[in-house]
Amino acid sequence: MSVFDLETAARALMPKEVFAQASNVHLALHVSNSYVLVCASDVASEKPIWNQSFTLTNDNGLSNGFSFITSRNWFDKVFRKVTLSFDSSLFTLIPEAFFDHNNMEEVLRFNHPTLQGETKQLEVREADSRMLFEWPASSETLLRMAPHIRVMPLAFLMARFAHHPQWNESDQINLLVSDGRMVITAKKQHRLQLLNSYDVSNETDVLFHLSNLAIRLSFDIEHVPIVLMQGPESMSLEVLETYCGAIRKSPFMNTLHPIIHLHSICA
């Protein structure tokens, strides 16, 4: 953390009443380079019981966030369900027919030559595909504390969300912007056409990548629905609304970070 203080320490202490319900609780976590999200919710209803966000320094990347989590009392009890997402641009989606356990690293390295860590995979059933991604080595301590935890890149949640019939039309673009990164999905005629991640600093950067997407995939961004999910840092929609005629704000409640909602829907 950037500064340790008593107020933050108090907020980071999970209440006893949450532990008392642990057998019926879904603990959702997200780790980025600059913050950690935590939310305990009822498994059946996904109604939040306790949720917090914590700002961190970004000196050590994701390892700082994992260290923050393992230093808390959050795993003093065993929860019914534990899911953790993390920010990463090192992922790729391949059709199930082309998936081979023996060449996962080779395929991922072809798309990301800077790959250094271990390659893992997750099945995206809705897309009949597998997601290959770099495993966060700094999560190993956490896995020993909670061996049943499910760890996944944020892009995995976005890929599943893009296929959720309740939240998507046949043609639609979904954007999640948080912590200087944009994860984007694009569907046309119910088929996923694009899943990618970009570094962004403002809405002009977002518009630049949207425009490139429109050219490559023949999308009319003046009419195609564009759903924007934003992190805690606010971003003006003025520039986007000028060029994107059907942009929509997140359909989720405003009380929680969109990533936490993605956990409840897709994890």
What whole-number distance in Å separates Cα of residue 66 and Cα of residue 62?
6
* Tokens 């305990």 -> residue: 40
pLDDT for residue 186: 96
pLDDT for residue 201: 87
DSSP at 42? E
**Cβ(134)–Cβ(119) below 8 Å:** yes
- Written as six digits, the tokens of 196 are 């990618």
**Cβ(118)–Cβ(135) below 8 Å:** yes
pLDDT for residue 256: 81
Nearest to 219 by CA among 167, 172, 177, 183: 172
**Cβ(105)–Cβ(67) below 8 Å:** no
**Cβ(121)–Cβ(103) below 8 Å:** no
Alpha-carbon Rg for the chain in angstroms: 19
Per-residue pLDDT for the chain (267 aa), expressed as one digit of tens each?
Answer: 444 566 777 788 999 999 999 999 999 999 998 899 999 999 999 899 999 999 887 677 899 999 999 999 999 999 999 999 999 999 999 999 999 999 999 999 999 998 989 999 999 999 999 999 999 999 999 999 999 999 999 999 999 999 998 889 999 999 998 888 899 999 999 999 999 999 998 888 989 999 999 999 999 988 999 998 886 555 677 788 888 888 887 777 566 889 999 999 998
**Cβ(109)–Cβ(143) below 8 Å:** no
- CATH C-level class of 168-250: alpha beta
Nearest to 132 by CA among 111, 114, 148: 111
One-letter identity of residue 229: M
**Cβ(241)–Cβ(222) below 8 Å:** no
Residue 180: strand, helix, or coil: coil
* Tokens 């879904």 -> residue: 26
CB atoms within 10 A of CB 228: 21
